[in-house]
């Protein structure tokens, strides 16, 4: 079989976040992702990718999110989903993806069952689904919206505000991004994904 990609990861190279940081530091100017802006696909470099993940991670840290806390992701595919997921893992927290078309009842069940401390949502409509159940979710402290929105009744923070909190937290603490995940191990839980619930209540696995 011909080799079609550079072999860049060995089995002994650490956690998902260790591998991610390796790409950020060794290939900073290379394209990591592509984002469609208008009709044109534009590259996002590993440097920009790493910057955004670090800002979200430090932003979440400033809100009290730490190791083993659950943080949910309720959104369609988008760059920010990936940024947030890796930021959650960098803190040793546990990401809880929720399928983008889930009903309000399904979202409520997963948030309650996982005891999620925070959730990222895509739109105001998604935030409204969470807001309906929020009085019954004592663990849920913050709802963070990816899309900019003027209505603030159903969420607490925008992603831009998280970026700013992250910059402030990192500057005030003097910490490096690597400090956040220095103590993680391959045995740490990274994510809880829930089944569809077609044969009963969704099960976390």
Please, which pLDDT band fits residue 197 given cuts at 50, 70 and 90? confident
Q: Which two tokens stand for residue 153?
A: 């009744």
Distance CA 60, CA 4 (A): 38
Asked if pLDDT for residue 181 goes beyond 50, the answer is: yes
Pairing of strands 157-158, 70-74: unpaired
In the 8-state DSSP scheme, what is residue 118? E
Q: 4 pLDDT exceeds 60?
A: no
DSSP letter string, 37-54: ETTEEEEEEHHHHHHHHH
22-32 tens-digit pLDDT: 999 999 999 99
pLDDT of residue 167 exceeding 80, the answer is: yes
The span from the CA of 81 to the CA of 90, in Å, is 14
Give the pLDDT confidence score for residue 13 in this predicted structure: 75
Rounded to the nearest 10°, the torsion over CA 45, 46, 52, 57 is 170
Q: What is the pLDDT of residues 73-124, one digit of tens each?
A: 999 999 999 999 999 999 999 999 999 999 999 999 999 999 999 999 999 9
Please give the pLDDT value at position 151. 74
Q: Which of 115, 90, 86, 110 is nearest to 100 (CA)?
A: 110
In the chain, helix, strand, coil percent, each to 5? 40, 20, 40
| Average pLDDT of the chain to the nearest whole number | 92
- Does residue 1 carry a pLDDT above 60? no
Q: Which residues of 165-201 are buried (b: 16+ CB within 10 A; e: fewer)?
A: bbeebbeeeeeebeebbeebeeebebbbebeeeeeee
Judged against a pLDDT cut of 50, whether residue 2 lies above it is answered with no
Q: What is the pLDDT of residues 114-164, one digit of tens each?
A: 999 999 999 999 999 999 999 999 999 999 999 877 677 889 999 999 999
What is the structure's pLDDT at 120?
98
Residues 31, 164: Cα–Cα separation, whole Å: 24
For residue 112 the two structure tokens come to: 């309650």
């Amino acid at each position: 079989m011909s080799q079609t990609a550079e072999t860049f990861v060995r089995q002994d190279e650490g956690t998902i976040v260790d591998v991610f940081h390796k790409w950020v530091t060794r290939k900073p100017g290379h394209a990591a992702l592509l984002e469609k802006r208008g009709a044109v696909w534009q590259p996002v470099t590993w440097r920009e990718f790493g910057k955004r993940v670090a800002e979200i991670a430090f932003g979440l840290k400033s809100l009290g999110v730490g190791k083993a806390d659950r943080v949910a992701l309720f959104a369609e595919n988008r760059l920010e989903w990936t940024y947030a997921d890796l930021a959650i893992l960098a803190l040793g927290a546990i990401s809880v993806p929720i399928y983008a078309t889930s009903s309000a009842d399904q979202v409520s069940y997963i948030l309650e069952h996982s005891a999620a401390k925070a959730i990222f949502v895509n739109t105001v409509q998604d935030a409204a689904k969470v807001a309906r159940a929020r009085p019954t979710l004592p663990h849920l402290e913050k709802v963070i919206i990816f899309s900019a929105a003027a209505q603030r009744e159903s969420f607490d923070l925008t992603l831009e505000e998280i970026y700013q909190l992250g910059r402030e937290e990192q500057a005030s603490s003097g910490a490096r991004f690597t400090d956040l995940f220095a103590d993680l191990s391959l045995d740490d839980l990274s994510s809880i994904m829930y089944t569809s619930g077609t044969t009963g209540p969704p099960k976390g696995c």
